[in-house]
Amino acid sequence: MAEENKVILHGLGVSPYSKRVELALKVKGIPYEFVEEDLENKSELLLKYNPVHKKIPVLVHNGKPVVESSVILEYIDETWQNGPRFLPHDPYKRAQVRFWASFFQQQVFEAMNTATRTVGETQEKAMKEFYEKLKIFEEGMKSLFPNGTPFDGKNVGLLDIFLCSCFGPYKAQEEALGIKVIDPEKNPLIFSWLNALLEVPAIKELLPPHEKLVELLLFFKNLALKSSAV
């Protein structure tokens, strides 16, 4: 029976997309096996399970693959319905959470992503955009949760998972980039929200190792420096 319900995640320890799924499994208390993929030399299984995109993360449940982090998150929430849910019950609130999760992904996260892979003026532009988007996101959270922080101290939801997968290791991002990423003065709500989440044991233990992440981000930075010098 245990074998039948086996959950395997093909991922990458430092990838925010992969981290998102790990957080979801951990928060729900679902035991899983983690297969660390080498993106330079992807496993046969990964290529078999995700022939269309050939990308991580892939969740394999009962031998059947589920692909794409946002699809996997909904699958986990709908399959393991006991305990806290990632989305609110009310359809209107669900729509609002989905809207802001999509905004976070497509705007905030993408701008940060660009900033970590560029230098000079392009990076400055990306960071400016990042701060603007983050401000809009903070204002959005204020109106969505008028009575306080988005995290109620107990139930970890979709927006919490998105925030942690991207900015859980913000100190490593700040060290590697030499730039303030989450500024308590500019974004007090996000700063305190994120730090409250980082106290949750299931989240804390999943943070990628600080030094390893700094090293990876410095690798991207050097790559960007080299290509800008060409």
Residue (50 or 123) nearer to a second copy, CB: 50
Q: Up-side HSE of residue 145: CA atoms within 13 Å toward CB?
A: 16
Closer to a second copy by CB, 40 or 92: give it.
92
Q: By CB under 8 A, name the binding residues for a second copy.
A: 52, 61, 64, 66-68, 70-72, 74-75, 78-79, 91-92, 94-95, 98-99, 102-103, 136, 140
Bridge partners of 34? Answer: 9
**CA quadruple 100, 101, 104, 106: dihedral positive or negative?**
negative
Comparison of 74 and 174: residue with beta carbon closer to a second copy: 74
Beta carbon of residue 213, minimum distance to a second copy (angstroms, whole number): 28
Minimum CB distance to a second copy smaller for 137 or for 170 = 137
Nearest approach, Cβ of 146 to a second copy (angstroms)? 15
The nearer residue to a second copy, 23 or 101, going by C-beta atoms, is: 101
Nearer to a second copy, 34 or 103 (CB): 103
Whether the CB-CB separation of 158 and 144 falls below 8 Å is answered with no
State the minimum distance, in angstroms, from the CB of residue 141 to a second copy: 12
The least CB distance from residue 158 to a second copy, in Å, is 13
Residues near 211 by beta carbon (within 8 Å), at least 6 away in sequence: none
Instruction: Give which of 16, 53, 19, 29 is closest to 7, Cα–Cα.
Output: 29
- Smallest separation (angstroms) from a second copy to the CB of 190: 16
Smallest gap from Cβ 89 to a second copy, in A, equals 10
- Between 79 and 192, whose beta carbon lies closer to a second copy? 79
CB of 67 to a second copy, least distance (A): 6
